[in-house]
């Protein structure tokens, strides 16, 4: 099976977070057909052991949304073609070509359960290339961290004509205060951004209270901890309560590591001039960098502006170059 055929098979196989089993099966078959050992672990991750000079890893899952799989004008359309089935397929192909270790992990778009399980159950590799769309000629060396908070407030029920603020008003006001409390840095990457992601409010089932709940995601730049964010939010909270989920720390990697150098060499060999990126989101690279004392870089073909988009599609020539870049990089790392 060619890399493009693997890409199309994976894009054609639904793999929404929590339901990645069929796509994992495609990957296991691909490795076994190439004579490599492969299996799915207890978390649902695809494991294909190999040379641990570098672990090539990307996520199997996608966000929801159906996009008709088709090829038009040299591009493959389909959910996940960019985030991150394109990088995933490119890494699998490079792993088969070079013998590098491979892992396809689950639930990156939701809980990162796959990456969490991976760092708990395998030995640390010498280096990691995490698969996310960076563009075939760019390397991502930084990601912001993430902490999620949920604000809940309740007020006694009463007629809507009364002037006292109800829970819905309090939750709305709290969200505005919190957003205003964080100053912007010199760039988005250097700023804390506050994004409400769900809101639920109204009369309680027994009719005695008005209740409201807001779930908020805070992206953390380097130098900012979850504790810093929590302290600022506490100063904004005079009614209701906030509960916090486990934080994911930010990561900034050096461009001078062997893995970054190997990727630059691969880009140049494929005819490009490499650039370095810092991404404003959060990825499994954050987990690997926090858990393992080895260099981590993120790379993958695909235009990240099309992540999760209704017109998600990947340029097939860029995908081919991505496979070539990863193959060169893995060869250099596995023979160094």
Kindly list the catalytic residues. 61, 108
| Phi/psi-derived region of residue 74, left when phi > 0, alpha when psi is between -120 and 50, beta in every other case | left
Three-class SS state of 306: helix
Residue 52's nearest CA partner among 298, 313, 320, 294 is 294
Strand partners, 296: 128
Planar angle of CA 303, 193, 113, nearest 5 degrees? 65
Q: Give alpha helix (H) positions in the chain.
A: 3-11, 21-33, 85-98, 113-121, 167-181, 226-235, 258-269, 284-291, 316-335
Tokens standing for residue 254: 């050096």
Q: DSSP secondary-structure letter at 305? A: G
How many CB atoms neighbour CB 48 within 10 A? Answer: 24
CB 222 within 8 A of CB 233: no
Beta pairing, strands 193-203 & 70-72: unpaired
For residues 9 and 132, what is the distance between their CA atoms, to the nearest angstrom?
Answer: 19
For residues 312 and 63, what is the distance between their CA atoms, to the nearest angstrom?
Answer: 11
């Amino acid at each position: 099976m060619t890399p493009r055929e693997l890409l199309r098979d994976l894009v054609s196989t639904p793999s929404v977070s929590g339901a990645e089993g069929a796509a994992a099966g495609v990957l296991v078959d691909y490795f076994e057909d190439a004579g490599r050992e492969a299996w799915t672990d207890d978390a649902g991750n695809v494991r294909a052991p190999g040379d641990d000079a570098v672990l090539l890893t990307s996520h199997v899952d996608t966000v929801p949304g159906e996009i008709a799989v088709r090829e038009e004008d040299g591009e493959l359309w389909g959910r996940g073609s960019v985030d991150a089935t394109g990088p995933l397929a490119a890494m699998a192909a490079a792993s088969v070509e070079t013998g590098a270790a491979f892992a396809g992990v689950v639930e990156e778009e939701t809980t990162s359960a796959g990456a969490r399980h991976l760092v708990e159950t395998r030995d640390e590799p010498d280096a990691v290339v995490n698969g996310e769309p960076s563009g075939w000629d760019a390397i991502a060396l930084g990601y912001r961290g993430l902490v999620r908070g949920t604000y809940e407030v309740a007020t006694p029920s009463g007629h809507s004509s009364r002037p006292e603020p109800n829970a819905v008003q309090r939750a709305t006001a709290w969200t505005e205060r919190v957003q205003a409390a964080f100053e912007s840095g010199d760039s988005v990457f250097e700023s804390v951004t506050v994004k409400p992601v769900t809101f639920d409010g109204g009369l309680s089932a027994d009719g005695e209270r008005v209740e409201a709940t807001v779930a908020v995601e805070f992206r953390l730049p380097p130098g900012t901890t979850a504790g810093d964010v929590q302290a600022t939010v506490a100063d904004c909270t005079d009614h209701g309560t906030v509960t916090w989920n486990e934080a994911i720390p930010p990561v900034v990697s050096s461009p001078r590591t062997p893995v970054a150098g190997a990727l630059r060499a691969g880009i140049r060999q494929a005819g490009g001039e490499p650039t370095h990126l810092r991404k404003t989101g959060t990825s499994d690279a954050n987990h690997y960098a926090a858990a393992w004392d080895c260099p981590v870089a993120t790379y993958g073909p695909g235009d990240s502006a099309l992540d999760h988009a209704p017109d998600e599609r990947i340029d097939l020539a860029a995908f081919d170059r991505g496979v070539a870049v990863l193959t060169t990089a893995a060869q250099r790392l596995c023979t160094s």
